[in-house]
Amino acid sequence: MPAAVSLPDPSHLSQVLAGSRAQLRRKACLSQSLELAIWANSDDEVHYRQQGHHTLSVYLAGGRGSQLKGEADLRGEAGRFCVFPAEHESHWLVREPVQFLHLYVSDMAWAERAVRLLDAEPRSMTLVPQIYAVDPVYAQWAQGLWRLDWSEPHDALRADTLSQQILDRLLLQSAAPRYRQRLARPLGGLSPVVRRRVLGHVDAHLADVRALSLSGLAEVAALSEYHFARMFHQSMGCTVHDWVLQRRLCAVRQRLQGRAVPGLALLAAETGFSSASHLLRCFRKHFGFTPTQFLRLQRDA
């Protein structure tokens, strides 16, 4: 799978756990910069502080000796899950061995789903925190990933597909407005009308490099390039370039999953890449496979 492009922030849950007694058993970087990790811990105290990213946590084994500090009646067990929003804080006591799976949600994965599933501005939404909730779908997802070999290409693709699906489910079930009062809504950013116009324009003109340039999209938004770039980032949590690239790569993947797959050069032209080699490099960096490998894995699955 693709490697992480930068070191996580010190408040990132993976960094917090790395600084505790927890042991990292496995890790995988998925498409859309999602991350999976399996941890084991015992005889420890861990404090999560506004990690800046959303996390889905599912207990794989043990957990009866784990609890929130000050909440002795709440105890975990295998199959139960927790949802930690980006702004979440909690203090955990771990008294017995436990293993758990974490799915770390990237800004890009969050933004894409907020728009696609909720028709909402990403920064205006968050997740409802949950502690030791019960849902067999999340338990089965976690156990299924636990049994996979993430270093094996077929299993890695399976892990990516299942994790993308479970994140869709999580947003549809647990997303909620971050700003509950009108006066608390954020200032700046694109208006909903302009945001929808710009994002619709991107999806409708993936092959047109000029139309999706910063200047071209600024024209659609009726803003200067400087103000458009700044306001887009405020609203979406990512740069214009990163959003356009993500949409192009999603289009490529969809074409590869169809019945009639064009040659790489034609596919590159249809989705806005400068050449077949440019498409190949971006696809491999994002998904961890070349388009040809992806096609073969799809057929063998």
Tens digits of residue pLDDT in 115-152: 999 999 999 999 999 999 999 999 999 999 999 999 99
Q: How far apart are CA 62 and CA 127, in angstroms?
A: 26
List the beta strands (DSSP E) in the chain: 23-29, 35-41, 44-49, 55-62, 66-68, 81-84, 89-94, 98-104, 125-127, 130-133, 175-177
Q: Is residue 241 part of a domain?
A: yes
Q: Determine if the pTM surpasses 0.85.
A: yes
Q: Is residue 187 part of a domain?
A: no
pLDDT digits (tens, 9 = 90+) for 205-221: 999 999 999 999 999 99
**Considering its fold, how many domains does the chain have in total?**
2
Q: Does residue 230 share a domain with residue 98?
A: no
pLDDT digits (tens, 9 = 90+) for 209-258: 999 999 999 999 999 999 999 999 999 999 999 999 999 999 999 999 98
Give me the domain span that covers residue 231: 192-300
Q: Does residue 170 share a domain with residue 50?
A: yes
Q: Which two tokens stand for residue 249?
A: 């790569």
Count CB neighbours of 155 within 10 A: 15
Provide the mean pLDDT of the chain: 91
Q: Does residue 160 share a domain with residue 55?
A: yes
The answer to whether 189 and 234 are in contact (CB under 8 A) is yes
Q: Does residue 111 share a domain with residue 197?
A: no
pLDDT digits (tens, 9 = 90+) for 4-14: 334 446 668 99
